[in-house]
Amino acid sequence: MWFNILKAPIYPNWIGDEPHSKKDEGFDLLNRIRHTTPSEITFISKDGNCRADFYLAEHFGRAAWYLQIFEIRKSIRGKGLGESYLKEMIDELRRDEKNILDEILEGLDLEEAKIREEANNEIYNILEQFLKPMKDIKKIISEASPPLDVIAVHVEERPRKWWDRMVDKGLIAEWLD
């Protein structure tokens, strides 16, 4: 599997979150928020000073990476390193994007099988409605052709000009609030 051969900075959260340790100090958002679905990916920079969480989503009928958290360790914030960390993350993603997409599809298939196994006939119709969004995203992923757009989501007011520059430089496709 790709996560066994890819170096540590990108790993799928659903396989098991890295345990919190001393190296997690200075990351407020990522220490409070944990994710558990197969389409969520975590990035850790080579030097360990930047973390990001992003997930695969449907964006106007196409698969896209939604960058939901991008956080630099408190002790080095404000030193102009954000762009280089964002570039490192995207370069890492692009190197093995197709394999990552395949792994996410496999994870979604396993999740769907688990849900179906736990369901009984009485809730079959409810189950089908519940699984429809999963089937939709699986179809979109299977039709995806990398590189996918990277879109920063839940962007707060203060860093919007910085994100505008990242769009202008072509590092991300757009940002959404």
Of the chain, the percentage scoring pLDDT greater than 90 comes to 31
- Binning pLDDT at 50, 70 and 90, where does residue 66 land? very high
Give the predicted TM-score (pTM) of the model.
0.75
Mean pLDDT within 42-48: 88
34: containing domain: 2-175
Q: How far apart are the first and last CA of the chain?
A: 34
So what's the pLDDT on residue 31? 44
Mean pLDDT within 44-60: 89
C-alpha 83/C-alpha 87 separation (Å) is 6
Q: pLDDT at residue 11 above 90?
A: no
Q: pLDDT at residue 4 above 60?
A: no
Q: pLDDT at residue 126 above 80?
A: no
76-99 tens-digit pLDDT:
989 999 999 999 999 999 998 998
If you write DSSP's letter for every residue of 101-142 in order, what string do you get? HHHHHHHHHHHHHHHHHH--GGGHHHHHHHHHHHHHHHHHHH
Question: Structural domain tally of the chain?
Answer: 1
Q: pLDDT at residue 110 above 70?
A: yes
Q: Give Cα separations from 122 to 89, 127, 164 (angstroms).
A: 45, 9, 50
User: Tokens 């979109």 sit at which residue?
Assistant: 140
Of the chain, the percentage scoring pLDDT greater than 70 comes to 76
